[in-house]
Amino acid sequence: MLTPRVLITEPIDQAAVDYLRTKFEVVVGQRGQWDDESYLASNLGSFDGLLSMLSNPVTEKVLRQNPQLKVVANYAVGYNNIDVKAAQSLGIAVANTPDVLSEATADIALGLLLGVCRRLCESEKDLRNGLFDGWHPQGYLGIELYGKKAGIIGMGRIGKAIARRLYGFGIKIAYHNRNRLNSEIEQQYQAEWYDDTDTLLRECDFLFLSCPLTPETHHLLSRERLGLMKPSAVVINTGRGSLVDEHELAKALHSGHIAGAGMDVFEFEPKIDPLLLSAPNTMLLPHIGSGTTETRRKMGLMAAQAIQAVLDGNPLESIPNLVSIN
């Protein structure tokens, strides 16, 4: 029998590559090489397994042209780059990397909140430019975190990890989620459920977006919804860029209708809306939420294990990180 072949579309932590190499023939692509849909569709022909990045468009066209694939494991928790429905109709398993990146991503969400509210980037840049002229009673006055109310949209694993941190800062927690958490969990996180997103937006001082990007959540933070928020509010996005109408957010930041924004994800990565780049009170990061050595290693192994399990013919129910459309 031929050794199954696995494509890892770009270099990742070596542990995952070594893990897969014990059983399979593994090809590791070049950075950016597999980001084009047509290229992906035309060059996957000899592979049984695909370890994809969130920048790889694993669309219906790609999957239909490559029904020999048995499994696609995304090196991310979000899988909006994969047409899961098409994969399932072709009998191709899809996996992701939940849990292992929640703490690292929540750290970045809090980093963004602190960065924006306490003007860390701006003040640090000034210091480096020789503009620090001693303590100033009115210098770099920011927004106090303590006692404020945060709204979390998407109270899944990352949302909960954010909530745990916020609680430590003395911030009140409100949340909206597709399904309400049970009262014990709500109590554990001291989190108040809001059925109505608009009310949550009206009331919160800090808004955290940590829900998946789906057709329903695309531009969840629209111009109209931005208009509901307090002018003193700060938006933090560690979900996906397209949860926010980014251009409208940039306009709201320029006009002072929103006080600040911390973003780790963007609508058209790696392109950033120039209006957002020039907006005041922003901290913009190059999608580094899960970017710690430890987390990326765990993500690699988790994706690799799912590939191995599927190619070994293990029952799909036994694979914990398998994505299902329901």
Instruction: List the catalytic residues.
Output: 240, 269, 287
Shortest Å, Cβ 322 to ligand 8YV? 16
Instruction: Name the amino acid, one letter, at 237.
Output: N
Instruction: Mention every residue, 6+ apart, whose C-beta is less than 8 A from residue 51.
Output: 6, 7, 8, 9, 12, 16, 20, 73, 75, 303, 304, 307
Q: Which residues of 155-188 are buried (b: 16+ CB within 10 A; e: fewer)?
A: bbbbbbbbbbbbbeeebbbbbbbeeebeeeebee
Separation CA 10–CA 75 (nearest Å): 10
CA dist., res. 65 & res. 107, Å (int): 40
Nearer to ligand 8YV, 76 or 171 (CB): 76
300 binds ligand 8YV (CB under 6 A): no
Pick the closer one to ligand 8YV by CB: 4 or 241.
Answer: 241
Q: From the list 8, 94, 101, 110, which residue makes contact with ligand 8YV (rule: CB under 6 A)?
A: 101
Instruction: Tell me if 237 sits within 8 A of 265, measured CB to CB.
Output: yes
290 sits near ligand 8YV (criterion: CB under 6 A) = yes
CB of 295 to ligand 8YV, least distance (A): 8
Q: Does 100 bind ligand 8YV (CB under 6 A)?
A: no
Provide the 8-state DSSP code for 101: T
Q: Does 105 bind ligand 8YV (CB under 6 A)?
A: yes
What track of x and - describes contact with ligand 8YV for positions 143 through 182 (by CB under 6 A)?
A: ----------------------------------------
- Determine phi and psi for 305, rounding to 5 degrees: -65, -40
CB of 82 to ligand 8YV, least distance (A): 11
Q: Contact positions toward ligand 8YV, by CB under 6 A?
A: 54, 76-78, 101, 105, 108, 238, 264-265, 287, 289-290
